Structure formats: C-alpha cells, structure tokens
Structure 1
Amino acid sequence: MNVLDCIVIGGGPSGLSASLILGRARRKIMLFDDDTNRNTMTQESHGFITRDGIKPQEFKELGLKELEKYPSVSFAHATVTEIIKDKGNEKFFVKASNGQEYVTEKIILATGIQEVFSIQGIREFYGKSLFSCPYCDGWEQRDKPLVVIAEKEKHALHLTKVIYNWSEDLVVLTNGITLSPEGAAELQRRNIKIISDPIKNLIGEDGYLQKIEFETGETLLRSGGFVAPIYYRTNQFAEKLGCELDEDGKVKTDGVGRTSEKNIYIAGETERNRPSSLMISAAKGNKAAVSVNTDLTMERF
C-alpha cells in the first residue's frame, strides 16, 4: 500500500487551503470531504477579498478545480470513519466510508464544527434571515428591525453591542433567562428592549422571519436577527488521537497547526471549536500545511 505524505480531512476553506499549499509543495496527499460543511445553508459568504458574496458551494468548487492542476493531490468524496495510529505516531491507518484504507505519515484535521439551537424553529430561518456572525451578514441587515436571541448573558451583551454598529433597532430575547441588573442597564442605556419570556414559535415564510410568538401569547414583529448557537466538533478525532485540549475545549497548538501529538496537525474551526471567517480559516490551513511541509523537509533532508 502506498504511503501518503499527508491526509487532509475536511474540504472547507482551511482544508482546501492546506491542500493547495501541499500540492504546490509536490507532496502526495489525499483530501477528504463529505459535503457536511457548516455553511451549506448560507446564501452568500462575505469578507473574503475578491470573493465577497460568493455562494459557499461555488467557493468549494473553485477550490477543488484549482487543486486539479497538482497531480500529487487526490480527492475523495467520502467520510473518514476511523484513524488508527501506530507506535510513536510514525504512520496512521485511515479508513473511509468509500471502503478504502489509506496509510499516511501526517494528518491535518480540518473537519469544522456544527451548531446546536435550543429553540425549535431557528434552523428554518438560519442562513436567510437569522445569522450568527455580524461580520458575515451585518451589512445586509443594516438599519433593519432585528432581534438578538441569546440564552447566556455574556453572549447577549457581546452580540448586541457588536450588532448595534449595523442597526440600533434591536430587541434582545433571552428565552426565559433574566439578565443581571448591571447587564440589563447596559442595554437599556441604548434604549434596547429586553424580553425574557420563553419563546414559543418563530413565524415567517420561506426562511424569512416575520414575527416571534412567546409563551405568554404576546408577539414581536421582526424581519431578522442574530443568534448565539452552541458549537461542537463533528467528530472526536482530536480527542481519540490524544491531542491536548485546554479548559475551553480548544486544541492546544504551537500557533501554526502542530498539536501536542506528533504528526497530527489541525486547522480552522476544528482547532478553536468556535466559528471563524473564510479568510481566517483559509489562513489557518495555509499555516498548518507549511508546518507539515517544513517537518517533512527536515525529517527527510
């Protein structure tokens, strides 16, 4: 069985970027992706210079097309199901949903994260009229009557303060949680209304929010807004492979993708267990790939 230089797991911006750098470095790699990217419901991606407003699927297709120029890069539309490391992490045996098995010297984990919403119905509007990132979607929501849905005070305060830059017509919903007097006062100084009543239903058509209904029977008219989801890694590869995590669940690295485990690298949202922009994720993939290539070079020279 041929041994790959590196397997990159995840074809989002970090995985695509890493694959491009390694392909240009003439490394024999395999990129895996199974189309479960977090931004699949996003209508447009913003903030990536020269690609502002691009659809995420188009972004991915352009990236995959560019990789075709490099003969040492292979792509598998499949899910990695198992990674087995040998003694000393010198090689990794990788099994995939396509029934194939691979051997590689190094691995880049770039599988991203996913959201969890505690309020039923949010996903129906997510990506069209409800969003999580003001820097990605704040411009399109400027000056509109917006809602901020957050069930932790620190999230409610931070998100509201940031969004206020784009729209001052804000109502904060905490879904049954009462803000501290100090926290409430911060928002009220800006004439921002706070509703702590539990949310019963979100009402709208074709993904576009119109109003929110509360358990009290009251309703609130809003055209869109921002939410604070809970995020989680889509798999436990980092943990199972022994990568060290900090108290917040972030994978510890040297700052350029190397984890605490030899020959295991990480990039993008997978590392932080928090959302990130296309630009930052791509940069993280670039850094991780340079680390991989540097280590291969020094080990073999």
Structure 2
Amino acid sequence: MNIFDCIVIGAGPAGMSASLTLGRARRKIAIFDDGTNRNRVTQESHGFITRDGITPHEFKEIGISELRRYPSISFYKTTIIDIEKSENSKLFTVETSDKQKFHAEKILLATGVQEEFSVPNIKEYYGKSLFSCPYCDGWELRDQPLVVIANSEEHALHMAKLVFNWSNDLIVLTNGAKLSLVGANELIQRNIKVLTESIKSLQGENGVLKGIELASGEIIPRTGGFVVPSFYRPNKFAERLKCEFGENGEVVTDGNGRTTQKGVYIGGEMEKGGPSSLMFAVADGSKAAFSINTDITVERF
C-alpha cells in the first residue's frame, strides 16, 4: 500500500511550502498536482522578495526541484478525484484519475480557487493586460489609461480607490450593475468616469487590450486594467470530508490550518475561498505544516 504521513493536494505556493517544511521534518509526504493553478495564465508574479518578476511556471519548477532534494517527499502529477475516510480506519484514502489509491494519516487541502467572469472573451486578456490584483500588477500599468470592471458597487468602489493609486486616468465599468448616487459621486469627484452599460466585447491583439466595446457600440479606449471576478473552489473535498464552513463560505480553522475534522488541514486560497498573494499562501502552508507535524509528534510520542 502507498501509505504516507500526509498527502498534500495542490502544488501551489501553499502546498509546496507545507511539503518543504514537512519533508525537512522527515515526514513521508505525497504531493499531488494537475497543473491547474490559477496563476498559470500570468506572465509574471510580483511581491515575493527574491523572486519579484518570476514567471509562475519558473516559480513552481524551482519549488518542485527543491522538494525533490528530500527523499521522503514524493511528487505525483495527476488529479485527485475522491477522498474518503472509513469509520474503522485511521487512514484517509485518496483516489486519482488513473484509478490509483494512496493512504495517509493527514490530509492538507491546498488546491486554491478559480475565477469566473461575466464579460465575454475576457480570458484572452486576463493575465496579460487585465488583472485582479493591483498589488501584484499595478506597478506595470502605472499611469496608463486603465479600466476597472466590477459588477457590484462594493467591488467597484474598493477596486477603483485602490487602482487610483497607480493611475488617475481611470474609468469604471459595471457591466449593467447600478451604482448609488453617493457611490457614483464619490468616484466622479475624482474625475473617474462611471459607465453602467453592459459590455459587448473586449478589443485588442495577442492579449494586449486596446478598447472595450459597450452594448451601444461605443468603444472606450483602454490599455489595461483590473477586473473583479467571482471565485469558487474547484472541488468539493472540504465538503466531502465534512469540514465546517463559516457564514461567509470560509472553511473554519483554528487559525493554524486545522479544520474541524481531525486529520484534515487546509492552506492558501482554498481556506477563504478567495484570492491571495504568493507571500500569504506560502505563510499559510508553513503554518499548516507546523500544525501537522506537531499533531503527528504528539500522537506518536
């Protein structure tokens, strides 16, 4: 049987960070990844000291190569399709898409989140000239004519105020959503134009935005900007393992990666069900690993 101390699902920054810590603690680890990490469409990753500007692919390859130095860490490039734990067993069982089964005392869920968009053809530009995080990509778009695309007043105001720090040549598009007079005036006073008309399509070449066509046919020239997508977990593993959820959809934890289910831990974007930075995800993975190793130590000593 393929029995491990911990199975880590997801080789993003949280999963790799946790695996590194656990591998250095001499734990037998299996880390699974299917290459669907959310930032794979991004050209560069920013804000991670010593790695500013690195491509997500290179960041991941460096991480995996570091993990391979530790003989107790095994890496599997495949998709986990199911997790279960029988009442009579202390082990979790995971099944892969190629019908292999692996077993472990602990499970770390670190598969992140994925985006959903309401704007046609936006994926052609996402990660190249349209982004979701000003802290990650605002510097590269500074002082350009930018757009903020957000489908609610709360998101529109929050994102516009943030992006205004990098460029005051700014237009807000709500794609059909209405803003209150108070909210709209708050932006207009800063010379930020607000348009609530629906978006017909985005225009440009090779992922570089040139303009946005509205339903009326009007074209708004823009060279880049920020969009507020909705986010979702790409699997139901936390539900399958009967983890408790909070009122905002977050997985309830003790603050250090432990869920309400014994032996189940979570880290990175998957915990909150929303976006995070590389730095925060790495820290989450490290905290979860400390909890996992502590629990294994106490249980076996």
Same fold (TM over 0.5): yes
Residue 8 of structure 1 aligns with which residue?
8
Q: How many Å separate the matches in 1 of 2:2 and 2:77?
A: 19
Q: How many Å separate the matches in 1 of 2:211 and 2:103?
A: 53
CA-CA distance at 1:3 after TM superposition: 2.3
CA contact (8 A) 1:244 1:260 kept: yes
Compared CA separation, residues 178 and 288, structure 1 to 2 (3 A): same
Residue 28 of structure 2 aligns with which residue?
28
CA contact (8 A) 2:146 2:225 kept: yes
1:210 aligns with 2:210: yes
1:252 aligns with 2:252: yes
Residue 137 of structure 2 aligns with which residue?
137
Alignment of 1:77-226 (within 5 A): 77-87=77-87, 90-226=90-226
Residue type of the partner of 2:250? K
Residue type of the partner of 2:166? W
CA-CA distance at 1:62 after TM superposition: 0.3
CA-CA distance at 1:240 after TM superposition: 1.3
Deviations along 1:166-207, one digit per CA (max 9) or x if unpaired, are 111100001111100110011011010001111111100000
Q: How many Å separate the matches in 1 of 2:89 and 2:259?
A: 12
SS state at 2:5 partner: strand
Q: How many Å separate the matches in 2 of 1:222 and 1:88?
A: 60
CA-CA distance at 1:299 after TM superposition: 0.4
Deviations along 1:32-55, one digit per CA (max 9) or x if unpaired, are 000000011000000000000000
Q: How many Å separate the matches in 2 of 1:83 and 1:249?
A: 21
CA contact (8 A) 2:152 2:178 kept: no
Q: How many Å separate the matches in 2 of 1:3 and 1:202?
A: 50
Q: How many Å separate the matches in 2 of 1:80 and 1:220?
A: 44
CA-CA distance at 1:89 after TM superposition: 7.1
Residue type of the partner of 2:294? T
Residue type of the partner of 1:100? Q
Residue type of the partner of 1:72? S
Residue 268 of structure 1 aligns with which residue?
268
Q: How many Å separate the matches in 1 of 2:80 and 2:280?
A: 24
Residue 285 of structure 1 aligns with which residue?
285
CA-CA distance at 1:97 after TM superposition: 1.8
SS state at 2:261 partner: coil
CA-CA distance at 1:88 after TM superposition: 7.2
Residue 58 of structure 1 aligns with which residue?
58
Gaps of 5+ in 1: none
Q: How many Å separate the matches in 2 of 1:221 and 1:122?
A: 16
CA-CA distance at 1:86 after TM superposition: 1.9
Q: How many Å separate the matches in 1 of 2:44 and 2:176?
A: 32
CA-CA distance at 1:2 after TM superposition: 4.4
SS state at 2:103 partner: strand
CA-CA distance at 1:99 after TM superposition: 2.7
CA contact (8 A) 2:84 2:240 kept: no
CA-CA distance at 1:100 after TM superposition: 1.5
SS state at 2:107 partner: strand
SS state at 2:140 partner: helix
CA contact (8 A) 1:89 1:262 kept: no
CA contact (8 A) 1:89 1:263 kept: no
Residue type of the partner of 1:82? D
Q: How many Å separate the matches in 2 of 1:98 and 1:55?
A: 30
SS state at 1:87 partner: coil
Moved over 4 A (4+): none
Q: How many Å separate the matches in 2 of 1:88 and 1:18?
A: 28
CA-CA distance at 1:214 after TM superposition: 0.8
| TM-score, length basis structure 2 | 0.99
Gaps of 5+ in 2: none
| TM-score, length basis structure 1 | 0.99
Compared CA separation, residues 88 and 276, structure 1 to 2 (3 A): farther
Residue type of the partner of 1:13? P
Residue 233 of structure 1 aligns with which residue?
233
Residue type of the partner of 2:90? E
Tell me the matched-pair count.
Answer: 301
